[in-house]
Structure 1
Amino acid sequence: MKYGGVDLAADPKRTALAIISDDNGLVIDDLEVGIDDDAVVDVIVSTEKVGLDVPLGWPDPFVQLVSDHAHRTLRAPQTTGPDWRRTMAMRATDLAVRERTGKVPLSVSTDRIAYPALRWAGIDARLRADGVDVSRDGSGRICEVYPGAALHCWSLPSSGYKGRDRSAERVSLVEALSRIFDGIDWNGSEALCTDDDNALDAVVSALLARAVARGEATPPPVQLQDRVSREGWIWLPSESRL
């Protein structure tokens, strides 16, 4: 089976794509940085599942707020304090990730992560028009992932590895991933992972897509299924598989 991982940036120049396979051992078949929309579409339609490091949707309360505000039907809240604002900023899955890992995903409502999310919304529409199942709950061809939180779940350093001056930290992460995924064949891609944190995140995203497909990741709880169908769900490694 082949699985993909995409670290989706707003700028294609900073977008990374990894493809792994496990038919004859775990192998990184391809790793590239500088990925346009066509390449993202291609990997989604040609692999078993793709892990996407980008928010797939916006918080329900935020969407309602924007709609009500646009139509001048917004009812005044009792307070505009931090608790109220947090309901607009955080999705259900963001809160679940924070509860399990202590890491707080960037807010797709209020942070710069909204720019790649806007790019994904356009790609999502293109795929849906072609009949591709891009369900945001992870049941189709894609699943939302958060490499930093996954690294935390694997008891690996989950911060401090990004940036041009952090190549030594990325070398250590590549070595650590080789221990966790015993026998993984990097196929010469270690250098790119060391040089570019986007590439490393793409590899982790592909490994997570494989985990989701194999039933080794945590699905959304039943009571959140409806909301997750709109907001998305960040898949983390199952605790039973750690």
Structure 2
Amino acid sequence: MLTVGIDLAAEAARTAVAWVDWSAGRARIIRLVAGADDDLIVEAMLGADKAGVDCPLGWPDKFVDFVCAHRAGDVRVPEGLVGRAWRRDLALRVTDQVVHEQTGLTPLSVSADRIGHATMRCAALLAELARRGRPVDRRGRGAVVEVYPAACLKRWGLPYRGYKRAANLTELGLLVDRLLEAAPWLDPGEYEPLCRASDDATDAVVSALAARASALGLVGAPTAEQEGTAATEGWIVLPTTSLDRLVTDA
């Protein structure tokens, strides 16, 4: 099996893609690119058995409705709610709220934070996949799933904060150490130095591991009530098992 992890940013400079090959109880990083453009990302997705994208696959349905109502001049605030309370469902998707309930972490708001720029890029990439005959099921049932590296790391008992940006290379190195200790079956090969130098690259690798968990069915799924919303907003797949199951279930 080949899984791909994509740490998607608004521009290529902060985007990384990892290819991980799985066989015989082992996993090997066979390619890792920091500074990935759209063409490379699309080709990586098309060639993968499962691809995990660290980026929202959609916007909150209620936010979309709100923008449409605003355009028509007909915004209505829900009765009995004031301030942040009525804006919560505009800022956070259902899956974001589920992730918070289950992990204590809150994903960036696609409608009220800068990650919206990356999501615009992601929307164009998903459209290109559809044009090439591989439409994406935003609920995570197809070849592309939405992932959240910080939540995966926390679920796996690994450091999940404080390793971002050049000022925290020591912490990033410690995360790589812990990851390789927890997953001795993962061979980073020639790409270990890049993981230690780039948090984007490391997040791409974690995204590829999350894609493997999804491929094996070792992740949470939306409930029947959440299905319709997940189909439009997207759904973050959270691992439900330890790292070791990623190879023992091969």
Note closer, same or farther for the CA distance 1:6–1:58 as it changes in structure 2 (3 Å cut).
same
* Counterpart position of 2:8: 8
* Counterpart position of 1:23: 23
2:116 is aligned, of 99, 114, 117, to 114
Q: Shift of residue 133 of structure 1?
A: 2.7
* Counterpart position of 1:164: 166
Q: Is the 8 A contact 1:161 1:170 kept in 2?
A: yes
* Counterpart position of 2:222: 220
Give the Cα separation in 1 of the matches to 2:66 and 2:99. 24
* Counterpart position of 1:48: 49
Q: Is 1:145 aligned to residue 147 of structure 2?
A: yes
**1:175 match: secondary structure:** helix
Q: Which amino acid aligns with 1:124?
A: L
Give the Cα separation in 1 of the matches to 2:157 and 2:23. 27
Structure 2 spans left out of the alignment, 5+ residues: 245-250
Give the Cα separation in 2 of the matches to 1:67 and 1:8. 27
Q: Is the 8 A contact 1:216 1:241 kept in 2?
A: no
Query: What does the per-residue CA deviation read over 1:26-73, in whole Å, with 9 as the maximum and x for residues that have no partner?
Result: 100100111111111101111101000000000111010011111223
* Counterpart position of 1:194: 196
Give the Cα separation in 2 of the matches to 1:241 and 1:33. 24
For these two proteins, the number of residue pairs brought into alignment is 242
Give the Cα separation in 2 of the matches to 1:226 and 1:22. 33
TM-score (ref. length: structure 2): 0.93
Structure 1 spans left out of the alignment, 5+ residues: none
Q: Which moved more, 1:158-167 or 1:65-74?
A: 65-74
Q: Which runs of 4+ in 1 moved over 4 A?
A: 239-242
**2:187 match: secondary structure:** coil
Q: Is 1:98 aligned to residue 100 of structure 2?
A: yes
**2:162 match: secondary structure:** coil
Query: What does the per-residue CA deviation read over 1:121-178, in whole Å, with 9 as the maximum and x for residues that have no partner?
Result: 1111111122213111111110000101111111111100111021221222112112
**1:26 match: secondary structure:** strand
Q: Shift of residue 80 of structure 1?
A: 4.3
